[in-house]
Chains A and B, each alone.
Chain A
Amino acid sequence: MTSQTSPSFMGEPDPSGRFGRFGGRFVPETLMPACIELESAFRDAWADAAFRSELDGLLRDYAGRPSPVTECHRLSEELGLRLLLKREDLNHTGSHKINNVLGQALLTKRMGKKRLVAETGAGQHGVATATAAALMGFECTVYMGEVDMERQKLNVFRMRLLGAEVRPASSGSRTLKDAVNEAMRDWVATVETSHYCLGSVMGPHPYPWMVRELHRVLGDEAREQSRVLLGGADPDVVVACVGGGSNAAGIFSGFADTAAELVGVEPAGGAAVGGGVPGVVHGMASFLMQDEWGQVEEAHSISAGLDYPGVGPEHAHLSDIGRAQYHPVTDDEVIDAFQVLSRTEGIIPALEPAHALAWVIREAPSLAGRTVLVNLSGRGDKDVAQMMDILEGEQ
């Protein structure tokens, strides 16, 4: 694990939790003591070698880190570029989400709390949280939008199998943003005994920073692994899908201070950065999809994990300063990419990272001859039933 050299494009936020003009801590007074406690517990733990080594041990022996970087020979040839994948799909529980959750679970233990509350969209963060709770003997409640519970039935069952209680979020758009609202309402009532295990680089300070630091491991690994593959060089372009932005923050943090271009890919129906309108919701100031009055709009995409109208504040900042670019892809492009990777490389991706691949496939002509690293943030098992309906419905 390399430590941060400063100044960095992805260093610490300022004392108010800001990345440039974004971030902060817009929470009810009832939650302020918990946010302050969490920040100091995390600072303390992150500087503690014993904590870091316990976490590294869990990531290695339980989650299966490091995950490999795979070179995609057939697809590279087809696209006319050199494509590398960071294989977060091979982690225990099937996505990058486990990195953040194991860190927060250890922190929960350190703070003397015994219950985890989480929101989930696709169910991957919920499954990871339920897994960590089972491992550590915590109680666990996961909020999930009713619409998503239907789309991702398999993950609902998995969470229950792991001993978690899954509660439907049945107000508003009944997707991820409403699950976040419900999780916050639970936390307001239970903050003295529960930790809110937030699943992305969003929410009030210190979450955006803490969750990014907990995913930095994947970026650091990917940088070292690509240098081995590329004779000491870095990839030209590093690409990741962006919902809240945690897998992207993890991989970007490994390359922010290299010459690599950073590209975040948003669903066309949930492009908060693309929309570029600042707003305040879920504890943070960031870019936010909203109507003319500031009412938060619903995101619409094929992927439950990216159906979020906001984005982590650090991404809004990286976009502001031009260090990363954010581009949208359509559902149709994603459905295509999902199949292309399956057929050419024998890897069925989750629908979320299929967004990152879809951008690479579309932009292949302009990327010709370049080396592109995609963060394959999760595997597609959870999406197979949905894709079966879509693809067989076509015939």
Chain B
Amino acid sequence: MSLELEPVVTGRPLPPSPTPGPMEARLRAVRDSGRKLLIPYLTGGLGKWADIVRAVADAGADAVEIGIPFSDPVMDGPTIQVASERALAEGATPESVLSGLRGIDAGVPVLAMTYYNLAFHMGDERFAGQMAEAGFSGIILPDVPMEEQGPWQTAAEGAGIETVMLAGPITPDDRLQRLCDMSRGYVYGVNLMGVTGERQSLGEQAETLARRLKAVTDKPVAMGFGISTPEQAAEVAAVSDGVIVGTALVRRILDGGGPDEAHRFMSSLRSALDAS
């Protein structure tokens, strides 16, 4: 009987660190210059993803989120599920996606978006170390709430990886403040109750959350989930510091679109944000 095993994850959050990391500093500077942040998401390992990262950066993205495909993406709707399944079927692994970024000089910060088991299985420190080595600046782990961030963030901070926290429409005020304090890079506001996927229209929830976030933090606030068109992007950016657009881009890639199509779509979002 061994009762002295280390907890798998201790469940103890870290105190906030006061100094912004390099990604946050850069995004703050962009925001402070009056430009709205445009942050596309695309699934790593899918088709010509590396070329698409370059194309969206060239079209005016301020940072890029790369999904590391996971077998059980519970926060993702059908489009990103299909993209993940396809990438996995094409042989994508955490290592292939991480190393795939090495050759890319996107010129903007790149984040990973994935689910915790991939990091946990490899070991927090090793995963964070490999991310840093491959040139990643940050990470988003939607299935790790504040209470469970401790061990991951210890490893991430050690490797210089900035962990972006998500806030939801029904996150109470006290949690909102704490997660903004804990977040690095930017704060990810989830526009709606639900999973990723395009929506015809975004309700008042997005605007309300954006305003609540802006009231409690001076970190960049980027809003995502459901944004499908340049008009929606402009609408949400008007009350926040910028937008994250995932499914609308991934759908184009799944439909066969390459770097040119991604560039066109990203440019249309960029123009809408710049005009607003």
Tell me whether A24 and B148 are in contact in the complex, defined as CB-CB below 8 angstroms, given that A29-B179, A288-B117, A296-B72 are known contacts: yes
CA distance A189 to B94 in the complex (A): 29
Stretch at the interface among B4-12, B153-161, B234-242: B4-12
Contacts of A288 in B (CB 8 A): 117
Contact A21–B8 (Cβ < 8 Å): yes
Query: In the assembled complex, which residues on chain A have CB atoms less than 8 Å from the CB atom of B130?
Result: none
Contact B2 A32 (CB under 8 A): no
Taken together as a complex, chains A and B put the C-alpha atoms of A27 and B172 apart, in Å, by 16
Complex alpha-carbon distance, A184 and B193, angstroms: 12
**Bound CA span A322–B116, Å:** 28
Q: What does the 1/0 interface line of B137-176 toward A look like (CB < 8 Å)?
A: 0000011111110000000000000000111111110010
The B-contacting residues of A in range 160-191, CB under 8 angstroms, are 171-172, 177-178, 181, 184-185, 188-191
A177 CA to B72 CA in the complex, in Å?
A: 8
Contact of A280 (CB < 8 Å), options: B2, B77, B143, B172 = B143
Question: In the complex where A188-B194, A288-B117, A293-B118 touch, is A32 in contact with B145 (Cβ < 8 A)?
Answer: yes
**In the complex the two chains form, is B190's CB within 8 Å of A30's CB?**
yes
B5 contacts A191, C-beta separation under 8 Å:
no
The yes or no answer to B208 lying at the interface (CB within 8 A) is: no
By the criterion CB–CB under 8 Å, are A184 and B171 in contact? no
CB within 8 A of B147: which of A16, A22, A184?
A: A16
Does chain B have a CB within 8 A of A228?
no
Judged by a CB distance under 8 angstroms, whether B195 is at the interface is: yes
Asked if A223 is at the interface (CB within 8 A of a chain B CB), the reply is: no
Whether a CB of chain B sits under 8 angstroms from the CB of A321 is yes
CB of A344 within 8 Å of the partner chain: no
The majority secondary structure among interface residues of chain A is mixed
Q: Does A320 contact B (CB under 8 A)?
A: yes
Answer whether residue A66 sits at the interface, using C-beta atoms and an 8 A cutoff.
no
CB closest chain-A residue, reference B127: A294
Let me know if B217 is at the binding interface, CB within 8 A: no
Closest A residue to B176 by beta carbon equals A29
Size of B's binding interface in residues, CB under 8 A: 55
B72 and A28 within 8 A (CB): no
A285 touches B145 (CB 8 A): no
CB distance from B211 to the nearest CB of A (A): 18
- In the bound assembly, the distance between CA atoms of A29 and B146 in angstroms comes to 8
CA distance A294 to B5 in the complex (A): 21
B254 to chain A, nearest CB (A): 14
Residue on B with the closest CB to A26?
B143
- State in angstroms the CA–CA spacing of A177 and B190 once bound together: 25
Q: Are A22 and B11 in contact (CB under 8 A)?
A: no
Q: Does A29 lie within 8 Å of B166, measured CB to CB?
A: yes
**8 Å CB contact of A181 from B1, B72, B194:** B72
- The interface bits of chain A over 185-224 (1 if a CB of B lies within 8 angstroms of the residue's CB, else 0) are 1001111100000000000000000000000000000000
Contact of B9 among A280, A283, A320 (CB under 8 A): A280
Query: Quick one: closest B residue to A185, CB to CB?
Result: B195
Query: Which residue from A17, A279, A295, A321 sits with its C-beta under 8 Å from B120?
Result: A279
Closest chain B residue to A178 by CB distance? B72
Judged by a CB distance under 8 angstroms, whether B85 is at the interface is yes
Is A281 an interface residue, CB under 8 A from the partner?
yes
- Interchain CB contact under 8 A, A22 and B71: no
Given contacts A29-B145, A293-B118, contact A185 B193 (CB under 8 A): no
B74 within 8 A of A: yes
* Given known A29-B167, A33-B171, contact A192–B193 (CB-CB < 8 A): yes
Cβ–Cβ contact A30 & B193, under 8 A: yes
Distance of A21 Cα from B8 Cα, bound (Å): 5
List residues of chain A with CB within 8 A of the CB of B29.
none
Take A29-B168, A30-B168 as given contacts and tell me if A281 and B2 are in contact as well, using a CB distance cutoff of 8 Å.
no
Q: Which of A185, A281, A293 has the most CB of B within 10 A?
A: A293
Say whether B85 contacts A18, CB under 8 Å: no
Contact call A279/B147, Cβ cutoff below 8 A: no
Chain A positions 256 through 298: 1 when the CB is less than 8 Å from some CB of chain B, otherwise 0: 0000000000000000000000111111010010100111100
- The reply to whether A185 and B77 contact each other, CB–CB distance below 8 Å, is yes
Question: Could you tell me if A296 and B170 are in contact, using CB atoms closer than 8 angstroms?
Answer: no
Query: Given A29-B190, A171-B81, A295-B70: A20 and B121 within 8 A (CB)?
Result: no
Complex interface: chain B residues within 8 A of A177 (CB): 72
A178 to B84, CA, bound (A): 14
* Assembly CA distance A171 to B73 (angstroms): 10
A285 to B73, CA, bound (A): 16
The answer to whether the Cβ of B216 comes within 8 Å of any Cβ in the partner chain is: no
Q: CA of A204 to CA of B113 in the docked complex: distance in angstroms? A: 21
The answer to whether A33 touches B9 (Cβ under 8 A) is no
Q: Report if A295-B88 is in contact (Cβ < 8 Å); known contacts: A25-B147, A28-B166.
A: yes
Contact: B74 with A28, CB < 8 Å?
yes
Which residue of B is nearest A191, CB measured? B193
Name the A residues within 8 Å of B147 (CB-CB).
16, 24-25, 32
A321–B77 alpha-carbon span in the complex (Å): 39
Question: Is B144's CB under 8 angstroms from A26's CB?
Answer: yes
Given contacts A22-B8, A293-B121, A320-B5, contact A28 B85 (CB under 8 A): no
Alpha-carbon distance A22/B72, docked complex (angstroms): 20
B229 sits at the interface (CB 8 A): no
Asked if A188 meets B75 with Cβ closer than 8 Å, knowing A26-B143, A29-B171, A32-B175, the reply is: yes
Q: How far is the CA of A184 from the CA of B168 in the complex (A)?
A: 16
Question: Which chain A positions have C-beta within 8 A of B95?
Answer: 293
How far does the Cβ of A138 sit from chain B's closest Cβ, in whole Å? 20
What is the 8 Å Cβ interface bit string for chain B, positions 95-136, against chain A (1 contact, 0 not)? 100000000000000000001111111100000000000000
A-chain residues with CB within 8 Å of residue B116 when the two chains form the complex: 26, 280
Asked if B121 contacts A279 (CB within 8 A), the reply is yes
Please give 15 more A-B residue pairs, beta carbons under 8 A apart, in addition to A20-B7, A30-B171.
A27-B143, A29-B168, A33-B171, A171-B78, A172-B72, A172-B85, A181-B74, A280-B117, A280-B120, A281-B117, A288-B117, A293-B95, A294-B117, A296-B72, A320-B2
A-B contact pairs, 20 of them (CB 8 A): A20-B3, A20-B5, A24-B147, A27-B145, A28-B74, A28-B75, A29-B171, A29-B179, A30-B169, A30-B171, A30-B193, A185-B77, A191-B170, A279-B120, A279-B121, A281-B115, A285-B8, A285-B120, A296-B117, A322-B2
